[in-house]
Amino acid sequence: MKEDKNLSEFYKVAILGATGAVGTELLELLQTRNFPVAELKLLASPRSAGSTLKFKGQNLQVEAVTDDSFKDVDLVLASAGASTSKEWAKKAVEAGAIVIDNSSAFRMDHEVPLVVPEVNPKAAALHQGIIANPNCTTILMCVAVWPLHQVQPIKRLVVATYQSASGAGARAMEEMKTQAKEILEGETPGTDIFPYPLAFNLFPHNSPLNEQGYCQEEIKMVNETSKILGTNEIGITATCIRVPVLRAHSEAINLEFAQPFSVDKARRILSQAPGVTLVENWQKNYFPMPIEASGKDDVLVGRIRQDISHPCGLELWLSGDQIRKGAALNAVQIAELLVEKHWLRVEAATV
């Protein structure tokens, strides 16, 4: 919440995966957005237990997550990976907490809402204890295309992603820095997090491939976008690429509509869309860049142009902070929505 809401209720909040890249961003956002925290618990694996993180001027100790960690907790912001979420999320719900989960563990569960607050906020009311945060590239794309889809339904969506090291976590970011130094010093770069050197290189996303040749990341974008937009009638295909950018993802998106959609109209819509900043200077060939999207809440969108191969096609380009709007910010915005609408309880609310 960007301003104090004079709320009478404050909540006991836990961050699961507090020491990771997204976890530390969650900590900062809870503070800077004045979320009504009565008490904050920082949870992580045993190897991170005992370390300290600062919140509102206080040093809080990180605890190892246990069966008793969620007692009296109202809200859990989970960002510790799918296997960890599968192990602990339902235990947290059983203890009476609401879980906003940043992993892929529950995204396609029919009983779990998959929410981007700018797109489908009412879905959050239908939670039964767990709300899923979508994949980072899916969030960024949905924020950009939803305002257009509302005006004129999209028939087909083709996206190519340019995904930074941050998508693989803090250790991956450090690995790319080290690789760059090794390459510049004439050494062979080491690999641990990624299968191949990312510095001065790029490669298709290294998640597992299916029989159709699509990687897991690409299938996430296809399935999650359909669920968020509430339709299976959009033809969606994705190509996901890991690029040597430290933080913030970019995407090239091609949209096909049933009728022509003018560039000027699309530009007007996106210039007023929530969560979007229009970035275009055609004279200077200046459009969204990950270096400028890093640390920003909004998704930067620009280079909106007519697809010269199709009369009903539009092209656009975006950059967005994967750690922020692509993960932590979206989760905190969901939490704010729950508080504002009084949906912060396990029983499904009535929309």
Give 345's pLDDT tier (boundaries 50, 70, 90).
Answer: low
Tokens of 80: 């510790």
pLDDT of residue 160 exceeding 60, the answer is yes
pLDDT of residue 4 exceeding 70, the answer is no
6 domain residue, yes or no: no
pLDDT of residue 346 exceeding 50, the answer is no
Residue 218's nearest CA partner among 237, 203, 245, 195 is: 237
334 domain residue, yes or no: yes
Give 1's pLDDT tier (boundaries 50, 70, 90).
Answer: very low
Give 342's pLDDT tier (boundaries 50, 70, 90).
Answer: confident
Residue 139's nearest CA partner among 247, 79, 238, 221 is: 221
Same domain, 153 and 87: no
What average pLDDT score do residues 238-258 get? 98
What average pLDDT score do residues 260-273 get? 98
- Let me know if 149 is a catalytic residue: no
pLDDT at 344: 75
Same domain, 18 and 86: yes
How many domains, the chain?
Answer: 2
Same domain, 125 and 215: no
The CATH code of the domain that includes 206 is 3.30.360.10
Residues 6+ apart with CB under 8 A from 116: 134, 139, 142, 143, 146, 228, 330
pLDDT of residue 7 exceeding 80, the answer is no
125 domain residue, yes or no: yes
Catalytic residue among 110, 127, 136, 312: 136
Q: What is the pLDDT of residues 61-109, one digit of tens each?
A: 999 999 999 999 999 999 999 999 999 999 999 999 999 999 999 999 9
Catalytic residue among 127, 142, 249, 312: 249
pLDDT at 170: 85
Same domain, 206 and 253: yes
pLDDT of residue 351 exceeding 90, the answer is no
Same domain, 52 and 142: no
In which domain, by residue range, is 233 found? 138-164+202-320
pLDDT of residue 255 exceeding 90, the answer is yes
2 domain residue, yes or no: no
> What is the percent of the chain where pLDDT is above 90?
91
214 domain residue, yes or no: yes
- Let me know if 142 is a catalytic residue: no
What average pLDDT score do residues 293-304 get? 98
260 domain residue, yes or no: yes
Strands 235-242 and 203-204: antiparallel
What average pLDDT score do residues 155-164 get? 98
Letter string b/e over residues 43-71, b meaning 16 or more CB atoms within 10 A of that residue's CB: bbbeebbeeebebeeeebebbebeeebbe
Same domain, 153 and 117: no
Binding site for NADP(+): residue ranges?
A: 19-22, 47-48, 166-167, 322
Long-range pairs of 114-118 with CB within 8 A, sequence gap ≥ 24: 114/224, 114/227, 114/228, 115/228, 115/330, 115/334, 115/337, 116/142, 116/143, 116/146, 116/228, 116/330, 117/330, 117/333, 117/334, 117/336, 117/337, 118/142, 118/143, 118/146, 118/273, 118/274, 118/275
Same domain, 156 and 218: yes
- What is the reported pTM? 0.93
Same domain, 246 and 309: yes
Binding site: residue ranges?
A: 19-22, 47-48, 107, 163, 166-167, 242, 322
197 domain residue, yes or no: no
Same domain, 206 and 103: no
Same domain, 332 and 283: no
What are the start-end ranges of the H helices in the chain?
A: 21-32, 82-94, 136-151, 170-184, 216-229, 263-271, 290-293, 329-340
The CATH code of the domain that includes 23 is 3.40.50.720
Binding site for substrate: residue ranges?
A: 163, 242
Q: Residue 18: left if φ>0, alpha if ψ -120 to 50, beta else—which one? A: alpha
Q: Distance of alpha carbon 60 from its chain centroid, rounded?
A: 26
Same domain, 263 and 156: yes
Mean of per-residue pLDDT scores for the chain: 94
257 domain residue, yes or no: yes
Same domain, 147 and 282: yes
Binding site for phosphate: residue ranges?
A: 107
